[in-house]
Amino acid sequence: MSQVAPQVDVGVLTINGLAAFAPVLATLSADDVTPLAMVQMENLGSLFHINGKYALQVPDLLQRCKSTRLDRLGLLVGWRKGDSASLMAQSAGGQAISLLSMCIVNIYNESDTGLVLSELSRNMLSQTIAISSPSQLVKVARTLSAKLQLLGFGNFLAAQVVRIHDAYKHFGKTVPDDFLDKILAEDMAELLHAMTRAVREESIVARITGSRSMGHILAIVMIMFPEDAFVTMENVIVFEGLRKSILVEFTDTDGIINVQVELKLAIQSAALIVPIEKGPTMQLAGRHVYYYEWAGCMADMLQVMFMEDGLICPEPLRVACCGMFEPLAKALSSIDNQSDTKGLRGNHGVMKLLGPYPHERINQVCQKLWKIAPGWAKPISSLKDAFDSLLLAFAEATPTVSCICQSETRCLPLLGWKDSRQEFERHICPLYRLWMAVGVAINCGFGCLFVNAGSGATIVPTNYLYYGSLPLIITAILDPKREPPTGPTRRGYSEIIHGCIKGFSGSLGSGVAGSTNSSTIYMAALQTRQLPTTMDALVILMEGQLIFNGRYQTSLFAYYSERPEVEKDIRQGTQPIIPSSIGEHSSLEMTIREGVDSLLLTTTIVVGGGIEHIDLLRTIFASWELHEAEPCEHPAGTPLEPQHEDAVLTTSLAAPAAIEGKIAIVQVSRNPVAQLFACVPEVRALLQTNCCLNCAYEQAVRGKYRMIIAG
């Protein structure tokens, strides 16, 4: 029986009478969930008798309240103490519905999630309790599942599909390509109803036979009811729990899954037969989006996407994907005419953003996320050579797959990738889907190189390529003639990197921080307020949600502002131009305002008696593209030679950039925060480090830089 059922007749309560429930109501209001929807979900969960190792973890996961403060912002990342999810940890029903919500949220979108929960409630609860709308139930499900996503449904699913794939191969059977097809929401509700009856009632078993959609069915059974599971393939036992209440039988069928509720020890026909129809999977957008725990996320994501077409992604293909990253980083450094002046061993452009040892970072990240053994990295090659290796590995991984498109529009991986949203007619082709899966993985995997992730962090990768995605940029780099004048490589590499990161954390959007249902990603400069040369990574990924004013938030946007170009020199008289700090700010204030659906961050500096609002997002992007000057042997304080003075303007943070035709020297020497704020979007800048102003000026002229930031 529910432990949170109302103990009074709430129908006769006055508004003042609700004050007695103020603490609980405040908790639920902070999470934007309705009290009766919580009660309904807890009652529904009481009918699901979960067991196994995941069930044991649920109470602690729901009650955890650890958080990390982002200094000076008044923001926390983590979990609130005493939130709605922690209330559910106090009852078996609350724990069960939380685990079920985690599974359903991974498989369905919000509309179908609400439909599953609404149908379950209608079938299993009384009319007096099942009164909440699907949208109200979805909000509860998202709130509860958030704390359980670190269990990594996507990782678990990948392990299960590999296991079943190996079993099919062992028996010499063809692996079905509908193993991960989507089950209609109404049918999933019937299926879950049958499962929970079998677990609750000792005289009943639920027999599930077939192959279509069995990947999701098996994952739910093994997560929620492993002790009641009995899994067979062609009558050979694959897994046996303590009880045999849920029989999962992989068989060759005509594609229809049968769910039968049967009485034990009774020779009679099935009491219930539910045919589960195949959901629409013609379009790539219909593919599932799962939560993946950080370790192994890329390998598991690619494994699941390949299994949707009945294949396993072998390690050589994963190695070939990773082999693209270093040549790609070097190629991106020059697509906006920013040449890599140090050749293959250079540390400029994108390579600089990977830290002092970029090759080692790529190696370590690929081993951890792509499940690749040490020693995988080959000698550095060109992007063309790496792409050729990828084509070969892809062909070896898909020997039985062929294009089924019309002859005049056949799929040719040799030609690279295109925007998948503009090619809906191709989504029926298995070769197209698999090649797009490789492109999606490369897009997400490249973004992961620039992220430091904490324990329990998860990602939610997209499953399509869009205009400006990295694979489309690879295509344009390899064949520039095919790219239009406004093609994707016309952007700076900071936007490209940001786009890759959004590929697995769409919550970041165009903000400086964003939360998915379970993790938060934010620009590292929010904490360090320094240039990326001093940081371990550009972006931080942490388990938990953004917390502000005691409420969970989804996005933090930066105040948008434009900075004027200066026409006058801040230098007094005819003093020699030397690096100084006269252009730095005297104070800094960062404030946050809570909006309807997001937070707004305003960054204000005081410079020379006036104030300036800094667009922090675009400033951070500009800092990623900041180049360091080549070192010289002259003293850093050497004055700029008089013949150069007419070509420069000394500037401050009030307006760092100079008018066209002049090179700005921003006087913020030895101030890391001011050097960050000196970066201006779309203004090529050079940081004077270990270099005198004269040599920095000469480099700026040669490289067509418009700004020198004093070091």
User: CA–CA separation, 25 vs 27, rounded Å?
Assistant: 5
Query: Average pLDDT, stretch 206-232?
Result: 91
User: CA–CA separation, 669 vs 693, rounded Å?
Assistant: 12
Higher pLDDT, 344 or 648: 648
Percent of the chain having pLDDT more than 70? 87
- Classify strands 648-651 and 663-666 as parallel, antiparallel or unpaired: parallel
Lowest average pLDDT, out of 156-160, 422-426, 617-621, goes to 422-426
Read off the pLDDT of residues 658-710 as tens digits, 9 standing for 90 and up: 999 999 999 999 999 999 999 999 999 999 988 999 999 999 999 999 999 99
Q: What pLDDT was estimated at residue 339?
A: 39
Q: What pLDDT was estimated at residue 598?
A: 85
Q: What pLDDT was estimated at residue 511?
A: 86
pLDDT grade, residue 2 (50/70/90)? very low
Read off the pLDDT of residues 97-118 as tens digits, 9 standing for 90 and up: 999 999 999 999 999 999 999 9
User: CA–CA separation, 427 vs 435, rounded Å?
Assistant: 11
Produce one character per residue of 295-325: b if its CB has 16 or more CB atoms within 10 Å, e if not: ebbbbbbbbbbbbbbbbbbeebbbbbbbbbb
User: CA–CA separation, 16 vs 20, rounded Å?
Assistant: 8
User: CA–CA separation, 445 vs 321, rounded Å?
Assistant: 9
Q: What pLDDT was estimated at residue 14?
A: 55
Read off the pLDDT of residues 555-612 as tens digits, 9 standing for 90 and up: 999 988 888 898 899 988 788 999 999 999 999 998 889 887 788 999 999 998 899 9
Find how far residue 265's CA is from the centre of its chain.
49
Read off the pLDDT of residues 313-334 as tens digits, 9 standing for 90 and up: 999 999 999 999 999 998 887 6
Q: What pLDDT was estimated at residue 9?
A: 53
pTM, to two decimals: 0.87
Does residue 459 register a pLDDT over 70? yes
User: CA–CA separation, 309 vs 437, rounded Å?
Assistant: 11
User: CA–CA separation, 41 vs 562, rounded Å?
Assistant: 49
Higher pLDDT, 385 or 233: 385
Edge-to-edge strand list for the sheet holding 229-233: 236-240, 229-233, 246-250, 204-210, 257-263, 272-276
Q: In the chain, where are the structural domains located?
A: 10-151, 173-281, 285-458+465-504, 561-709
Does residue 547 register a pLDDT over 80? yes
pLDDT grade, residue 3 (50/70/90)? very low
Rounded to whole angstroms, what are the CA distances from 74 to 280, 516, 550, 591?
45, 20, 11, 8
**What residue has token string 């922690």?**
86
Percent of the chain having pLDDT more than 90? 49
Lowest average pLDDT, out of 211-225, 442-456, 490-504, goes to 490-504
Read off the pLDDT of residues 62-89 as tens digits, 9 standing for 90 and up: 999 888 888 777 788 999 888 889 999 9
Higher pLDDT, 177 or 556: 556
Query: Average pLDDT, stretch 256-275?
Result: 63
Query: Average pLDDT, stretch 293-319?
Result: 93
Quote the mean pLDDT of the chain: 85
Instruction: Dump the DSSP string for 553-610.
Output: ESEEEEPP---PPB-S--S-TT------STTS-SEEEEEEEE-SSSEEEEEEEEETTE
Q: What pLDDT was estimated at residue 235?
A: 80
Q: What pLDDT was estimated at residue 16?
A: 57
Higher pLDDT, 25 or 323: 323
